[in-house]
Amino acid sequence: MFFTLFINSHINVIVIEKKIDGKKMQATPILKWAGGKSQLKSIIESRIPSKFQNKPFNYVEPFIGGGAIFFWLKSNYNIKNAIVNDINPNLINCYQVVQKDVESLIDCLNSLQDKYRTLLSDADKKKEFYYSMREAFNSNSGNSIEKAAQLIFLNRTCFNGLYRVNRSGKFNVPIGSYKNPKICDADNLRLAAKAFEDTVITNRDYADALQFANPETLFYLDPPYKPLNATSSFNSYSKGSFDDKEQIRLSEFCHDLTKKKCCWILSNSDVNTEENPDKFFDELYEGFDIRRVKASRLINSISSKRGQLNELLISSS
């Protein structure tokens, strides 16, 4: 399936926008995800090679996460073929359900939303319902559509919209304090389904995507960030960790992309601070274009640690 997709020479120009009350709407992330890149779109755009501005190209995103860059590119660029991937199986199941059966997902979410709203005035019953949904999600009960709906429900109602799992791979975020969360955004789900048309969605190791590297393909890599300190890690999106060895392996992957004359852009944390100088990434990506940009980080259990931080935007040219 992968190989067939990339040798297909036809061009698909997909319209993934609609007008609501006269305002043009484009697909946006359907899940709140730590490290989302919506705010950095203009900076990332400045690093996209000019050769991709006015011609169709292939796009690969090995760590899709919340998908902000994918949805934005699909709405504003001529992407011929796209492959998106993530190591988190629950996330990928959700995207595959949106792609294949969005209307059934909307029905399921509307049912959950209606039930939850009847409990908003009773804190104990609301809490009981949330934790029953969390238990169902962790027990892998239900079919793929129900599993996707459970993920979206938890994402919209849990503390700070955070996705976090324990060492056993179980989702362990407590209930949030939202008064009346919008659990089913049907319009955006349909726009997302349109964006996912003719897109291959996979749950593999990112390195498998090397086979698609060529001069006509753009890679955007947004891996789990290297933590700034021992308590700031949000890498627990899947069972396992993305430690320094994994960061080094990713840099080797980027070097391999370059050898294939493939264009790539990578985001990561800037660990080289005044308080704790660390040349880890400066040395790892020496010779590539390294830029420091400001980004707001809103997901942190400690409010004082939210705010603007430096991030790295590294590119092949």
Average pLDDT estimate for 166-184: 95
**Would you state the pLDDT for residue 12?**
37
- Name the pLDDT band for 105 (thresholds 50, 70, 90): very high
Instruction: Please state the separation of Cα 13 from the chain's center in Å.
Output: 22
Name which of 291, 299, 296, 159 is nearest 234 in CA terms. 299
- Give the pair of three-digit tokens for residue 221: 């890599």
Question: Predicted confidence band at 238 (pLDDT cuts at 50, 70, 90)?
Answer: low
What CA–CA distance (Å, rounded) separates 33 from 162?
A: 7
**Residue type (1 letter), 82:** A
Q: Tell me, yes or no, if the pTM score tops 0.95.
A: no
pLDDT in tens, 243-302: 999 999 999 999 999 999 999 999 999 999 888 889 999 999 999 999 999 877 654 444
Residue 110's Cα: distance from chain center in Å? 23
Tokens of 92: 């990928």
Two tokens, residue 177: 């304090």
pLDDT over 50 at 304, yes or no: no
**Percent helix, strand, coil in the chain (nearest 5)?**
40, 20, 40
- DSSP assigned state of 214: S
For 247, the token pair is 């960061």
Coil, strand or helix at 277:
coil
Interior CA angle at 137 toward 131 and 138, to 5°? 90
Per-residue pLDDT, 9: 33
Per-residue pLDDT reduced to its tens digit, 150-162: 999 999 999 999 9
Report residue 305's pLDDT band, with 50, 70 and 90 as the boundaries.
very low
Cβ–Cβ under 8 Å, residues 90 and 139 = no
Residue 96 φ/ψ, nearest 5 degrees = -65, -35
- Averaged pLDDT, 181-198: 97
Phi and psi at 266, nearest 5°, equal -130, 140
Please write the tens of the pLDDT for every residue from 113-151: 999 999 999 999 999 999 999 999 999 989 999 999 999
- Of 96, 62, 313, nearest in space to 201 by CA: 96
Cβ-in-10-Å burial (0-12, 13-18, 19+) of 229 comes to: exposed
Task: Write the CA distances from 150 to 91, 184, 238, 289, integer angstroms.
Answer: 11, 11, 17, 41
For residue 13, pLDDT over 60 is answered with no
Count CB neighbours of 309 within 10 A: 16
Q: What is the mean pLDDT of residues 162-166?
A: 92
| pLDDT averaged over every residue in the chain | 88
Distance of alpha carbon 174 from alpha carbon 93, whole angstroms: 22
By CB neighbour count within 10 A (0-12 exposed, 13-18 middle, 19+ buried), where does 172 fall? middle
Residue 1 has pLDDT above 60, yes or no: no
Domains of the chain, CATH where assigned:
2-89+204-315 (3.40.50.150), 91-187 (1.10.1020.10)
Show the tokens assigned to 266.
Answer: 């990578």
pLDDT on residue 10: 33
* CB-based contact 294:308 (threshold 8 Å): yes
pLDDT of the residue at 88: 96
Please report the pLDDT score of residue 18 as a whole number.
Answer: 52
The residue among 59, 60, 101 whose CA lies nearest residue 80 is 59
| Torsion angles phi and psi, residue 236, rounded to 5 | -80, 55
As a residue count, the chain comes to: 317
Q: What is the pLDDT of residue 5?
A: 46
Nearest to 312, CA basis, from 202, 226, 219: 226
pLDDT digits (tens, 9 = 90+) for 18-49: 554 444 579 999 999 877 677 788 899 999 99
How far apart, in whole angstroms, are the C-alpha atoms of residue 311 and residue 291?
8
Least confident of 2-6, 96-100, 130-134: 2-6
